[in-house]
Structure 1
Amino acid sequence: MQFALLSRLAEVDYPCGARLLHKHLEAAGFAVSEASVSRVLLDLDEAGLTSRAGSKGRSITDAGRQLVRAIRDSRDRDAELARALDINTIEQVFDLLYARRAVESEAARAAAERITESELVELRALLEQHRHHLESGSVGRQCAQMFHRVLMQFSGNPLLITLGNTILSDQLDYLEGVLDVVTALRGSADESPNDHAVILDALAARDPDAAERAMRAHLSRLIGDLKDFAATDNTPVLSRVLRMMQG
């Protein structure tokens, strides 16, 4: 309700009293009393977001306008991000993989410059778990995903970590299933742990250039597998797999 009141005050160029604001809130679907509106306005006054305009009611302050603008911008970004992560086509899968290649290559470079021995041990454990799953006949998808997510955290770069949390979001896990199908059909499922081992060797050597190259090569291989599979008239198959994994 507080944001709705501030938004209304930001939209008009005249002071508004509790009665007028109460009518606005009712029209917007809020089930509140006029007394509740008055109490909220007092809270907004104390926070410096609104100010009294004599007997005419309240006006929004500069701080209040800045807050409304910030909240609206944040909501717009959230909506835009939700649209970007709503991946329904093979073309969008490619777009995500290209974004991952750019961000994760930089993360690998950054991690190579600061990684600790205990962090290397954690990545080695994930790699061994991944290999064990493959040897026992399972995919080991979670281990592979965690390798990428943990490495992103080890970059130590807050911006890269934030971007990584987006492009490696849990809500995109179903796309890993699409890649699993493609690599299984192409017989390249066993290559991912080998790629991860090369990345890990570069990290252990504290070689940023090699780590960046290894991560880029790994994701480029996955992109190449997907391209080759789609190029052989398998796009309808991929689309069905994508819908199945989403469901």
Structure 2
Amino acid sequence: MTTRTARRRALQLAVGTSAVLLALTACSSSDKKSDSTSSGTPGGTTTSASAGSQKVTGTVTVFAAASLKESFTTLGKEFEAAYPGSKVTFNFGGSDTLAASITSGAPADVFASASPKTMKTVTDAKDADGTPATFVRNQLEIATLPGNPDKIASLKDLTKSGVKVALCAKTVPCGAAAQKALTASHLTLTPVTYETDVKAALTKVELKEVDASVVYKTDVQAAGGKVTGVEFPESASAINTYPIVKLKNAQNAAGADAFIAFVQSAEGQKVLSAAGFLKP
């Protein structure tokens, strides 16, 4: 091999090696750009829920008014899907009973009440972390037996002799609202039973143990064909507002904040509106 030939081959080898190095460098740069995009930097597709799911985990314990059972159960499932690794557990009941449990030390992260009055029990005891926020409102409706065989058309019809009525206890928000509507109508009604929460009052109608009950529009809607709903104008003067708050001794503070934000979000409000709740 001549000296000139050897030099030519060495030069070709050097050029080839440089081309390989340039290709590897370009590939590495492209990979870094791709990684940056997928991790949520500008131009990425990572959603806020996915980002939040990395921080919100564990169990979120929610004490909520009985009338929220169906909608909050749905929201709980959607929350768990949005925040993998989280779990929402609920304690549904009369708001007054739940408030008393919280002030007595029952462990919970969030309280959603059916009235400001029952929420005040918790805030006065300094068991709330922050100021409660109204997230929905609810209106009363009469629930009758399917088909309304007694032809109940007004609140006054509930006072007729022989009509058996169930009401929520006066200390429960739905009971207080019903009493407010009756007072505004100058009516006196003696029910055959006072129930601990709105679902219990509704169940009395579903089981045909009473002819009618005064519950919320959302409860009538949730019951489907088990009852027939009758609207009455006096209900407009007894609309309940629903406040929600994180509790002071929340064991999952991050989860509590995230759940409350979820309830107030467009997605949360969509579920609540579909259940018959009014906008806050």
TM-score by length of 1: 0.29
> Which structure dedicates a bigger proportion of its chain to strand?
2
TM-score by length of 2: 0.26
> Which structure dedicates a bigger proportion of its chain to helix?
1
> Which has the higher Rg, Structure 1 or Structure 2?
2
